[in-house]
């Protein structure tokens, strides 16, 4: 007997979720009307929703973020959410949703980033049990049915392969909607020296995490023209708002110019100023607004738990040894940055090489000169109770989380014609810097092989500030690292940069972050 020919399968009729105690049966009255029209409409709506979830969760995030304008052939890929129509295969921007809804009478959309259902008539995301169950099942299992057959123990079981950090990093992508802080800052009239310092602060992960986690409560701050409030606003604008246009640092400028700090009143002009001085001013101001309110005293071991001290401040120890009685005196003081002179070392190397042109140096040579070699000096020895010849050596007792280094390119020449001069000597600096040789531990011999000790003294380059041109008419630019990529910041212009561009720059300020935090 011949086999009976097969018949096409009947379309599956979808059912809405059965009522549960304490839960609504529908997301809103408009979803209720949609489901109660007829079975075909219910089937089509659920099939479309499942297809949209596959598009969002199974493919590249860029697919769901790409929309076609309601009028014209323009296709755009948006950083913010787009909306996938539940009733037709259209992907729309937020602005085009209203036009599409009025034209087609389609009122339900799916958020391209979360898969949540949006009701245009409610003007809100609605929680519908039927759609939400499909969404959570798809997210949790990758399909729409597997979760019902799996036990809870299976869902919570540890997978040694998939829980491996390397597996996770190689099988995930950064969300396309992420605001990365890549924005330029407009020059408000010779303010490039401020812009480069602000960019280094904005791309400092320690400061970024502090301000983005409401470390400074701007809403409760009563200080007029508070610079920390202005910094908080700036971080929010750079990392919470998906905008790539240039930023006008009006609040920073007003807070800076109205500051009562007379020591920095020379910076409040429209002339080109020193980026290092502005860095010191901004750090001290933010310390006073977030710390104990006391101005750090030069040469003292000032300590504070504010964000600036946690980020930039370290401690130096100077050891003076009397050449008569061998008595030792130690003095500890805090530092915001390390200033490395270039002129004397340039002259020394020039004499040794016999080259009239200033030879290139390395950052390590500059650090050796200051924190490994000792100098002769005279001081009053308490043991001898008289002035004696001595040798003084300075080493780093406590390293900061972010190490800031100034290469002193601007020197004031005294004499008949007093003038400031710029030192153009190239200084080669590394992407990774080992600071262990310059610490007190290295001097005392306490450097047993220890992974954690080596890690705590290893730094990665974070940002570079460069002064180009003459001393009075020059310009500041900066390079900052975002993830593994470098970018050049020239006021409001932001461009991709290579490592060779960064390492070939004549640095003025260098910012390194300890590897354990990087």
DSSP assignments along 412-432, one per residue:
EE-SSS-EEEE----EE--SE
d(C-alpha 170, C-alpha 164), whole Å: 10
How many degrees, rounded to 5, is the angle at CA 225 between CA 222 and CA 227?
Answer: 100
| Alpha carbon distance 246, 237 (integer Å) | 11
Tell me whether residue 451 is in a domain. no
Please check whether residue 17 lies inside any domain of the structure: no
Q: Is 504 domain-assigned?
A: no
pLDDT band at 5 (very low <50, low <70, confident <90, very high): very low
pLDDT tier for residue 176 given thresholds of 50, 70 and 90: very low
Specify the higher pLDDT residue, 448 or 242: 242
In this structure, of 153-167, 171-185, 291-305, 456-470, the range with the lowest mean pLDDT score is: 153-167
| Domain limits for position 130 | 29-145
Please report whether residue 109 resides in a domain: yes
DSSP assignments along 80-94, one per residue: S--EEESSSS-EE-H
In a domain, 86, yes or no: yes
Q: What is the pLDDT of residue 458?
A: 92
pLDDT tens profile 460-504: 999 999 999 888 788 999 999 998 899 999 999 999 999 999 999
- What three-state secondary structure class fits 14? coil
Which phi and psi (to 5°) does residue 485 adopt? -110, 145
What is the percentage of the chain residues whose pLDDT exceeds 70? 79
Nearest C-alpha neighbor of 49 from the set 65, 29, 35, 61:
35
Q: 44 and 14 in contact (C-beta within 8 Å)?
A: no
Q: Helix (H) and strand (E) counts for the chain?
A: 19, 23
| Mean pLDDT for the stretch of residues 245-252 | 86
CATH number at residue 84: 3.30.40.10
Determine, yes or no, domain membership for 406.
no
pLDDT at 10: 47
Average pLDDT for residues 388-416, to the nearest whole number? Answer: 84
pLDDT at 263 over 70: no
* Band of residue 446 on the pLDDT scale cut at 50, 70, 90: low
Please give the residue that has the higher pLDDT: either 204 or 159. 204
- The confidence band for 157, taking pLDDT boundaries of 50, 70 and 90, is low
pLDDT reported for residue 55: 85
- Report the distance separating Cα 355 and Cα 159, nearest Å: 64
Mean residue pLDDT of the chain comes to 81
Cα angle 178, 184, 190; round to 5: 160
User: Taking Cα atoms as reference points, which of 353, 467, 463, 355 lies closest to residue 408?
Assistant: 467
Task: Say if 93 falls within a structural domain.
Answer: yes
| SS3 state of residue 498 | coil
Residue of 397, 379, 274, 411 whose CA lies nearest to 335: 397
pLDDT for 432: 95
DSSP letter string over 256-298?
HHT---GGGGGGSSSS---HHHHHHHHHHHHHHHHS-SPPPPT
**Phi/psi of residue 336, nearest 5 degrees:** -90, -35
363-386 pLDDT per residue, tens: 999 999 889 887 888 778 877 877
Q: Write the burial class of residue 181 (CB in 10 Å: 0-12 exposed, 13-18 middle, 19+ buried).
A: middle
- pLDDT at residue 152 above 60? no
**How much helix, strand and coil, in percent to the nearest 5, is found in the chain?**
35, 25, 40
Which tens digit of pLDDT belongs to each residue from 118-136? 999 988 889 898 998 888 8
CB 428 within 8 A of CB 510: no
pLDDT over 50 at 6, yes or no: no
**69 neighbors 96 (Cβ within 8 angstroms):** yes
Contact in structure between 299 and 333 (CB atoms under 8 Å): yes
pLDDT at position 2 is: 45
H or E stretch covering 481: strand 475-482
Per-residue b or e along 59-87, where b marks 16 or more CB atoms closer than 10 Å to that residue's CB = eebeebbbbeebeeeeeeebeebbbbbbb
User: For residue 114, what pLDDT is reported?
Assistant: 84
The pLDDT, as a whole number, for residue 262 is: 44
Backbone angles phi, psi at 396, to 5 degrees: -90, 120
Nearest to 344 by CA among 428, 275, 423, 420: 423
Domains in the chain: how many in total? 1
């Amino acid at each position: 007997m011949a086999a009976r020919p097969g018949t096409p399968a009947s379309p599956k009729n979808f059912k809405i979720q059965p009522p549960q105690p304490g839960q609504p049966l529908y997301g809103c009255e408009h979803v209720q009307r949609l489901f109660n029209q007829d079975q075909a409409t219910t089937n089509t709506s659920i099939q479309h929703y499942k297809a949209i979830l596959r598009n969002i969760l199974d493919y590249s995030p860029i697919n769901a973020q790409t929309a076609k304008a309601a009028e014209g052939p323009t296709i755009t890929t948006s950083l913010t959410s787009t909306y996938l129509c539940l009733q037709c295969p259209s992907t729309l921007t937020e602005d085009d949703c209203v036009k599409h809804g009025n034209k087609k009478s389609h009122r339900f959309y799916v958020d391209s980033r979360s898969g949540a259902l949006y009701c245009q008539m409610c003007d809100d995301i609605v929680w519908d049990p039927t759609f939400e169950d499909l969404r959570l099942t798809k997210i949790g299992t990758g399909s729409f049915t597997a979760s019902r057959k799996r036990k809870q123990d299976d869902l919570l079981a540890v997978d040694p392969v998939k829980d491996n950090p390397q597996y996770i990093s190689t099988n995930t992508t950064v969300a396309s909607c992420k605001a990365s802080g890549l924005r330029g800052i407009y020059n408000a009239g010779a303010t490039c020296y401020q812009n480069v310092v602000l960019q280094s602060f904005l791309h400092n992960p320690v400061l970024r995490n502090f301000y983005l986690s409401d470390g400074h409560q701007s809403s409760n701050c009563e200080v007029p023209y508070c610079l920390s409030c202005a910094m908080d606003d700036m971080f929010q604008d750079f990392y919470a708002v998906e905008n790539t246009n240039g930023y006008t640092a009006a609040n920073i400028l007003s807070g800076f110019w109205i500051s009562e700090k007379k020591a920095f009143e020379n910076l409040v002009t429209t002339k080109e100023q020193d980026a290092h001085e502005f860095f010191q001013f901004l750090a001290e101001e933010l310390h006073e607004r977030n710390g104990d309110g006391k101005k750090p005293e030069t040469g003292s071991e000032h300590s504070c738990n504010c964000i600036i001290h946690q980020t930039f401040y370290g401690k130096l120890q100077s050891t003076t040894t009397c050449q008569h009685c061998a008595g030792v005196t130690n003095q500890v003081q805090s530092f915001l940055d390390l200033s490395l002179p270039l002129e004397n070392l340039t002259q020394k190397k020039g004499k040794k090489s016999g080259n009239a042109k200033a030879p290139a140096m390395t950052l390590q040579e500059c650090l050796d000169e200051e924190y490994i070699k000792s100098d002769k000096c005279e001081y009053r020895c308490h043991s001898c109770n008289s002035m004696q010849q001595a040798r003084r050596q300075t080493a780093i007792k406590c390293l900061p989380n972010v190490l800031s280094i100034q290469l002193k390119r601007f020197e004031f020449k005294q004499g008949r014609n007093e003038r400031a001069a710029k030192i153009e000597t190239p200084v080669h600096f590394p992407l990774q810097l080992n600071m262990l040789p310059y610490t007190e531990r290295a001097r005392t011999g306490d450097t047993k092989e220890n992974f954690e000790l080596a890690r705590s003294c290893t730094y990665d380059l974070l940002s570079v500030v460069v002064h180009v041109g003459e001393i009075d008419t020059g310009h500041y630019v900066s390079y900052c690292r975002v993830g593994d990529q470098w970018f050049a910041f020239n006021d409001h212009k932001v461009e991709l940069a290579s490592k060779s561009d960064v390492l070939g720059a004549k640095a003025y300020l260098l910012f390194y972050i300890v590897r354990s935090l990087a």
